[in-house]
């Protein structure tokens, strides 16, 4: 568990992070979302002491981080940023190996870990291990950046707009991959973004910040149903709200008994994808199959629409 207690950073006489209290459960993804200048990066960087708080404390598993040597703390916490921060004169393999080597892992263990991470992040070892960052695409650099941040199996991974520089297609894939990798590894992730859709997609809980204040901290469904104030409402977007809901649920949750014509939808597709498929194929319903390809019933425009409405 990570606890932020009365965390405050004042520059001049402006509190850019203002008395933030937050508890982050181990093994979950927490997303901090807010407009530019709301204090997200400052908050994140106080967790690994790249910035020292003016007031308040950070506890990781009960230990006050201000009592640990800062360099030791930062080796135990992964940190990935928008432009990857890769060392330009080091190869991909050497970049990923940075923290394990600092920690004094033996060569063989480092080599094995680099190979394992490159596989996890779908970077072919023979092709990429000896390349330099400028010989990679933006998406590949981004994956190397996250692989490097995870190399020493940090219990906590801090990510500051990690997908900000990616085009929409690569970005969606990177988000899906991160979520899958997090579910496999159980890494606790604290991620900053200005994109509410990204927050809803990735966050087990979402922290909304505005002007240094934590406005709301709750699971996505709660934030959509009960935005704390007009600012949170605006950030969600009135038009987008029902569609955000549909990204949270799966087709499987809207299955009803019965049959329908045409290509089946997968039960684990999102309701948003299901709605798109129905609209595009001009159908009012489609059959649904599970992961093994078995028929499990059908999904209809009505059953999807019910799940896009404000919960009562």
Binding site for ligand ADP (CB under 6 A): 11, 16, 34, 36-42
Give the angle 78-83-89 at the CA atoms, nearest 5°.
85
Provide, rounded to whole angstroms, the least separation between the CB of residue 161 and Mg ion. 6
For residue 289, give Cα distances in angstroms to 267, 268, 279: 6, 9, 19
Rg (CA), the chain: 21
Question: Which option in ligand ADP, Mg ion, none does residue 193 bind, with CB closer than 5 to 8 A by kind?
Answer: none
Question: Which option in Mg ion, ligand ADP, none does residue 42 bind, with CB closer than 5 to 8 A by kind?
Answer: ligand ADP
Provide, rounded to whole angstroms, the least separation between the CB of residue 231 and ligand ADP. 14
- First-to-last CA distance in the chain? 33
Nearer to ligand ADP, 45 or 171 (CB): 45
Q: Rounded CA gap, 92 and 156, in Å?
A: 22
Provide, rounded to whole angstroms, the least separation between the CB of residue 208 and ligand ADP. 11
Provide, rounded to whole angstroms, the least separation between the CB of residue 41 and Mg ion. 3
Residues touching Mg ion, count (CB under 5 A): 1
Question: Which option in Mg ion, ligand ADP, none does residue 11 bind, with CB closer than 5 to 8 A by kind?
Answer: ligand ADP
Question: Which option in ligand ADP, Mg ion, none does residue 140 bind, with CB closer than 5 to 8 A by kind?
Answer: none
Read off φ and ψ for residue 257, nearest 5 degrees: -65, 155
Q: Rounded CA gap, 74 and 70, in Å?
A: 6
Say how many C-beta atoms besides its own lie within 10 A of residue 115's C-beta: 14
Question: Which option in ligand ADP, Mg ion, none does residue 312 bind, with CB closer than 5 to 8 A by kind?
Answer: none
Residues 6+ apart with CB under 8 A from 47: 2, 4, 58, 65, 77, 156, 158, 190
**Residue of this chain nearest to Mg ion (CB atom):** 41
Provide, rounded to whole angstroms, the least separation between the CB of residue 241 and ligand ADP. 23
Nearer to ligand ADP, 36 or 312 (CB): 36
Q: Rounded CA gap, 166 and 243, in Å?
A: 23
**Span 12-41, contacts to Mg ion by CB under 5 A:** 41
Q: Which of 260, 264, 261 is nearest to 251 (CA)?
A: 264
Question: Which option in Mg ion, ligand ADP, none does residue 16 bind, with CB closer than 5 to 8 A by kind?
Answer: ligand ADP
Which parts of this chain interact with Mg ion (CB under 5 A)?
A: 41
């Amino acid at each position: 568990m990570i606890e932020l207690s009365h965390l405050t950073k004042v520059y001049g006489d402006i509190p850019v992070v203002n008395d933030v209290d937050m508890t982050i459960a181990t093994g979950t993804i927490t997303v901090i979302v807010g407009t530019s200048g709301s204090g997200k990066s400052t908050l994140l960087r106080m967790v690994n002491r790249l910035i020292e708080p003016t007031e308040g404390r950070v506890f990781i598993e009960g230990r006050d981080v201000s009592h640990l040597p800062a360099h030791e703390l930062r080796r135990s916490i992964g940190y990935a940023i928008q432009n990857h921060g890769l060392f330009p004169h080091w190869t991909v393999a050497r970049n990923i190996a940075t923290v394990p080597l600092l920690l004094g892992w033996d060569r063989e263990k480092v080599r094995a870990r680099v190979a394992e991470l490159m596989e996890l992040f779908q970077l072919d070892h023979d092709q990429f291990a000896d390349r330099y960052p400028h010989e990679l695409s933006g998406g590949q650099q981004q994956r190397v950046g996250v692989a490097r941040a995870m190399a020493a199996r940090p219990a906590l991974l801090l990510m500051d707009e990690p997908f900000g520089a990616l085009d929409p297609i690569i970005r969606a894939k990177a988000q899906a991959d991160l979520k899958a990798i997090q579910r496999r590894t159980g890494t606790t992730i604290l991620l900053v973004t200005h994109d509410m859709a990204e927050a809803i997609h990735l966050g087990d809980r979402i922290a909304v910040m505005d002007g240094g204040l934590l406005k709301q901290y709750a699971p996505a469904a709660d934030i959509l149903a009960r935005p704390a104030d007009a600012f949170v409402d605006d950030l969600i977007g009135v038009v987008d709200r029902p569609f955000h809901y549909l990204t949270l649920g799966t087709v499987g949750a809207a299955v009803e008994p019965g049959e329908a014509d045409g290509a089946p939808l997968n039960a684990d597709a999102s309701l948003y994808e299901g709605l798109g498929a129905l609209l595009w194929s001009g159908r009012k319903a489609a059959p649904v199959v599970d992961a093994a390809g078995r028929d499990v019933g059908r999904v209809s425009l009505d059953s999807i629409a019910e799940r896009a409405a404000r919960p009562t």
